[in-house]
Amino acid sequence: MKNLETRSLHPAPALPTETRNQARVKRYRANHRRIDYAPDPDALVIIEKHLLDNPNGYSLAGVIDDLVMAGDRAISGNEHATNRS
């Protein structure tokens, strides 16, 4: 008879957490293009303002997306452009 005290009631995950996270990131990046962006100091002030003031709790990428889409609407005059807000 096996000693039940030495067996775990919760089996170990199939993969270590780091590996699962890497797999999740790989799947995400397969469908989402990554852009290396270093904002101008004045642009960074605007981005941080919107990041802190945003009631929807968007991520940094979400705030930059919203600002780009708002800029596109302002420049193109297309009021029907996509907006998550």
Render pLDDT for 21-70 as a digit per residue (tens, 0 to 9).
888 888 888 888 888 889 999 999 999 998 888 777 778 888 898 899 99
Whole-model pTM? 0.57
- Answer yes or no: is pLDDT of 83 > 60: no
Q: Are 67 and 43 in contact (CB under 8 A)?
A: no
pLDDT tens digit string along 1-32?
Answer: 455 555 556 665 666 667 888 888 888 888 88
